[in-house]
Every structure is written in C-alpha cells, then in structure tokens.
Amino acid sequence: MAGLLVAPVQAAETDPTSEVGTASSGGGDCTKKAVGNARNKGDIFHSYAKNVVAHNHVGIYYTTKTIVEAPGKDQKSKSVTASTLKKCGPIYKMYVDTKQANRDKAANHAYNKFRDLPYDGNFLDNKDNSNGKLNCSELVWKAYKHGAGIDLDSNGGEGVYPNNIKDHSKTVVYATIK
C-alpha cells in the first residue's frame, strides 16, 4: 500500500452534516462514531452512508446492547455489539411509537429470522421479494411488518429505503450523534 494516495471525498457536497475523516464502509469519507446502546429492545438506528448516492443505513436493536443489521455488499446480515459498531454521523436513535410488546416481537423476528443472509443490492422492490437476501432497510422493515404487523415505509412505494423508515410518522428520534 506504500505510495498509494487517496484523495478525500468531500462528503459535505451530499450531506452538509458529515465530517471528513476516515473512510466509511459506505464509500464516502467521515469520522465514524460508536452507535452505542439503545433505550429499549426494538429501537432503530439510522446513520449516514454513501455508495454512489447517499442512501443511508438502518439497523434494529435486538437488545439494548445488540444490533441486527445487513452491513452491505459482500457481507451477510449479522448481530453486533452496539458499543463497538461504528457508523458515519449523524446517527439517529429512534423508537417505534407502539407497545413495547410489538417492538419486542420485531426485534425477536430480526434476530431469529434475518441473521446470516446474503446482502440484497436491490432496493427497488425489496418489500415483496423473497430471494433469501436482505439489505438494511429491508431487514428493519420486514422485522416490523412480519414480526409486529407495522409497516414502516413512509411513502408506500415498492421499495423501502432507510430514510423511509426514519421519516415514518411512527418513528420518533430520541438521540442524535453527530
């Protein structure tokens, strides 16, 4: 790797809240921050991510200290320790405005059904496909839809994206990490 020069991408061009620093796994440059623990099981985190376009990232808390996520291309969905997971900011922590029993069902569904699956690069119709693959928003959406009967797609399209989940009227942001 000696002699390899990498010019930093100015993430602020696509997201003015991003900080330039170490490279993100999503393709842009940022200073990664620990996602950290949640208030409750079933909470969701949303973070900045950029591949070709800023599409962002989400994951669901199985416990207050364990997250289930589909991290990205060439990686399988998995559970990770919240205190060691680092993502680009801003990172939003949110809960779904429903009974805790429903949040528990969604979290259990994610943990029991959606780990160790290949990544699905198709966001266009990810709500209805059954190809045995998952992307991040598909994982969180299906956990709530199939685990608790709650549809977290804010615009109701064929595909669900991280921002659709963050912008849904039932998701409530309670913490922001910049």
Peptide bond into 90 cis (omega under 30): yes
Provide the pLDDT confidence category of residue 122 given band limits of 50, 70 and 90. Answer: confident
Which range, 21-30, 39-48, 120-129, is most confident?
A: 39-48
Which pLDDT band holds residue 4 (cuts at 50, 70, 90)? Answer: very low
Domain 15-177: give its CATH architecture. Answer: Alpha-Beta Complex (3.90)
CA dihedral 42, 47, 50, 55 (to 10 degrees): 50
SS percent in the chain: helix, strand, coil, step 5: 20, 25, 55
Bigger pLDDT: 19 vs 103: 103
Which amino acid is it at 10?
Answer: Q
Q: Give the H or E element holding residue 44.
A: strand 44-48
Give the residue among 132, 79, 84, 150 at the shortest CA–CA distance from 110.
79
pLDDT (tens digit, 9 = 90+) per residue, 41-68?
Answer: 999 999 998 765 667 999 999 999 999 9
Cis omega (within 30 of 0) on the bond before 118? no
pLDDT at 15: 30
Q: How many CA atoms lie within 13 A of 42 on its CB side?
A: 25
Helix (H, G, I), strand (E, B) or coil at 166: helix
Give the start-to-end residue ranges of the domains of the chain: 15-177
Section 18-41 average pLDDT: 67
pLDDT at 31 over 60: yes
